[in-house]
Amino acid sequence: MDYFDMLTEQRIDSETADLVDALLEQALPSLQPCDCPLETVLRQLADKYPLTVLPRESTHYAQTALAVIESDFPEDADYLPHDWEDRLEQALGLTGTLHMQLFCAEIRDEGAGHTLYEQQRIQYEQRTAGSGQVWRRMPVRICAETSSGYCLVTGSESLRDEILAMRGVSQDDIAHRTPALIAYLRARHDLRHNSEAR
């Protein structure tokens, strides 16, 4: 079966396709739908990690609003200005009209959050080994809009995987083998693999 990357819309490489096939074969017989609302997942993450909620005026809120408008409200996006700064400003202004529930936070480098930053450093060093590049801490952020389910994680692949695994998948995702199902299975696989490697 051919699989396509959700972002690039290109056929994925054969190694990744083989992994997807193996994960599907292994998981499908026992897979149960568990479509956890994003709002619930964010509350659980706030209990686990030290979060600093970003100020509403931060560019992250505007960028999140714009991403949701462009994907879920394309007819409204058509009316936004083409200038990037004006587009962001007006997108943020539409959040009330479109009843968006935005959440943007940064995870602090302490407690459970320190583990995410340590993983970030290790992954960076593995990917750039021998290149002479020096790791610089990148903030781990979550930017989400709970009514649409939009969620962007930057700075931590393992946190992204954790959120995907917590959210689960719907019966429709399982029945139609959607990209959401494939992302969910890959996240579960990566989380298991990373915990065994420790």
Percent over 90 (pLDDT), the chain: 50
195 has a pLDDT exceeding 70: no
What does the angle CA 100 – CA 106 – CA 112 come to, to the nearest 5 degrees?
Answer: 125
Which band of pLDDT confidence, cut at 50, 70 and 90, is reported for residue 13? Answer: low
Q: What is the pLDDT of residue 135?
A: 85
Question: How far apart are the C-alpha atoms of 56 and 111, rounded to whole Å?
Answer: 25
pLDDT at 155: 92
Mean pLDDT of 162-183: 86
Which pLDDT score, from 0 to 100, does residue 125 have? Answer: 87
* pLDDT top residue among 86 and 186: 86
pLDDT, tens only, 93-122: 999 899 999 999 999 999 999 999 999 998
Provide the mean pLDDT of the chain.
86
pLDDT for residue 66:
93
Give the per-residue pLDDT at 25: 81
- Residue 21: phi, psi to the nearest 5? -60, -45
Burial class from Cβ neighbours inside 10 Å (0-12, 13-18, 19+) for residue 44 reads middle
33's tokens: 């739908």
Tallying the residues shown for the chain, one arrives at: 198
Q: Residue ranges of the domains in the chain? A: 51-154
> How far is it, in rounded angstroms, from Cα 50 to Cα 112?
7
Instruction: Determine the Cα–Cα distance for residues 151 and 149; give it in Å rounded to an integer.
Output: 6
